[in-house]
Structure 1
Amino acid sequence: MRKLSAFACGLLFGIGLLVSGMANPAKVLGFLDLAGHWDPSLAFVMAGAIALAAPAFWLARTRTSSLVGAPIQLPTSRRIDGRLIGGALLFGAGWGLAGFCPGPALVAAGGGQPRAWLFVAAMLAGMAIYAALEQRRRSQETTKTTLSSTKPH
């Protein structure tokens, strides 16, 4: 049931991206072009998404499992740090340069757009680099913790 539910949600999300124009990089770049020929239509898409998601996230905070029994794992940290800001800047730069963010890029790649394939390849490479750097950082933290706990006091 969980896999069927996930598939149905993903399909609905993908159809929504296509219908709204979010999978069209020209439309997205038009939305981001505040100084030129700005296209505000995606603001309505985002407002609609927020209006639907806000009550769902509010409800999710009160539950420990989803409607199909999967555990709900919401972020617990509310800390704004350099890593969050850097990630947001990289995300925004990628979105502004390519006209894609991850969901629409996957939809467009599935639709056969070569630019989307390139974006998805770069996105996967970035994810692999992040995973390697994060593993290295955690390993260094573990080493520091081990060394500090073995020093004589």
Structure 2
Amino acid sequence: MRSNLSAFLSGLLFAIGLGISGMTNPANVIGFLDIAGDWDDRLAFVMGGAIAVHAALRPLIHKRERPLFAPKFPSLSASGVDRKLLVGAGLFGVGWGLGGYCPGPALTSLATGATQLLVFVPAMFAGMYLAQVLQARPSASVGTPNLGPTPAP
């Protein structure tokens, strides 16, 4: 229960920060991505602020024996760059660039009632669901859908 409350409060703080910084407005994100036109640097400052806070607090947090709301820190393994990572990152970037929304700001922006979000958010969740379905298949590989058993030669 405490970890759920911690996750909720962290998400709420993130949403408030996105709202205050104006990053729930897709025009700001698209302006940041438009490096050849009228470039908007505000997203760079928002990301820089987040990185600075993380960089300052991470060493302090990892001095603890364990997290506040979990029995141990998660073990993270770097498996390297592979095709699945590149395709996923590419799809994420294309979706972000075309829609102007990242998943966090899209959910935060639902409170505005913007009609484009009524298409974007369900499509985002459908994509997340499809990715889970494809990853759960034993012979799943990116770009090659599993269409059933292969016929014998």
CA RMSD of aligned residues (A): 2.3
Is the deviation greater in 102-111 or in 48-57?
48-57
Q: Distance in 2 between matches of 1:26 and 1:41?
A: 11
The percent identity for this pair of structures is 48
Q: Give the unaligned 5+ runs of structure 2.
A: 142-153
Q: Residue 2 of structure 1 contacts residue 70 of structure 1 at CA under 8 Å; is this kept in 2? A: no
Task: Note if contact 2:21-2:46 (Cα within 8 Å) is conserved in structure 1.
Answer: yes
So what's the TM-score if we normalise by structure 1? 0.80
Code of the aligned partner of 1:75: L
Give the direction of change, closer, same or farther, for the CA distance of 1:71–1:107 in structure 2 (3 Å limit): farther
Contact 1:31–1:40 (CA<8 Å) still a contact in 2?
yes
Equivalent residue pairs, number:
140
Q: Which runs of 5+ in 1 are unaligned?
A: 141-153
Amino acid paired to 1:113? A
- Name the TM-score, length of structure 2 as normaliser: 0.80
Query: Which deviates more from structure 2 when the two are superposed, residues 115-124 or residues 34-43?
Result: 115-124
Structure with higher helix content: 1
Deviation at 1:80, TM superposition (A): 0.7
- CA deviation map 1:7-37 (0-9, x unaligned): 2211111000001111100111111111111
Structure 2 Cα separation of the partners of residues 133 and 6 of structure 1:
27
1:147 is matched with none
Amino acid at match of 1:115: Q
Matches within 5 A, 1:55-74: 55-59=56-60, 65-69=66-70, 71-74=72-75
Residue deviations 1:63-90 (CA, integer Å, cap 9, x gap):
5642223543253124111111111111
